[in-house]
Amino acid sequence: MAKVSIYLNFMSNTEEAFNFYKSVFNTEFAAPIMYLKDAPAPEGMPPMSEKDGNSVMHVCMPILGGINIMGTDMIESMGHKSVIGNNTTINLEPDSREETERLYNLLSEGSTECAPLNDQFWGAYWGCCLDKFGIRWMFNFITNKKLSI
């Protein structure tokens, strides 16, 4: 079943923020926090610092009404900077690859920033865009049905 969630970006304090939200909503993480050091290293890239490796790559938890919030640390050493406009993203999880492509193609028309749809190591067909109105959209079609994001 298709789902919508909210993705939040933080500057190095995602874990602190999500522990706070966990207490506010009296909930638990949907899965253990994933850190950058848990991801396979991209070929040809230099090793990351310990600080960057301990940054949150992904965390997810339910809040109200079946809605999940998810989050990640933006990495300053990679030139990331959190500003109003890139700190919140609407995450769409369509039911099919075709619907994912349809939504991505329409919402990315006139986009100023895009990460093209691609199969990812975590088991999703993923992409992201900032639409012509300044709204950030993320697309996750789950290809590994055992995965829950």
Per DSSP, which regions of 15-148 are E strands?
Answer: 34-35, 56-62, 68-73, 88-93, 113-119, 124-130, 136-142
Cα-Cα-Cα-Cα torsion 87, 88, 92, 93, nearest 10 degrees, comes to 60
d(CA 111, CA 147): 29
User: What is the C-alpha to C-alpha distance for residues 133 and 19, in angstroms, rounded to an integer?
Assistant: 32
What pLDDT is stored for residue 132 in this prediction? 86
CA distance 3 to 147: 14
Residue 105: both structure tokens together: 């193609």
Tell me the pLDDT of the chain (149 aa) as tens digits. 889 999 999 999 999 999 999 999 999 999 999 999 998 887 888 888 999 999 999 999 999 888 999 999 998 887 888 777 778 899 999 999 999 999 999 999 998 888 999 999 989 999 999 988 788 899 999 987 665 55
In a domain, 79, yes or no: yes
What pLDDT is recorded for position 126? 96
pLDDT of residue 45: 82
Domain residues for the domain of 84 are 3-142
How many domains does the chain fold into?
1
- CATH code at position 33: 3.10.180.10
pLDDT of res. 145: 66
Looking at residue 134, what is its pLDDT? 82
- 147 is a domain residue: no
Q: What are phi and psi of 124, to 5 degrees?
A: -135, 150
Q: What is the pTM of this model?
A: 0.75
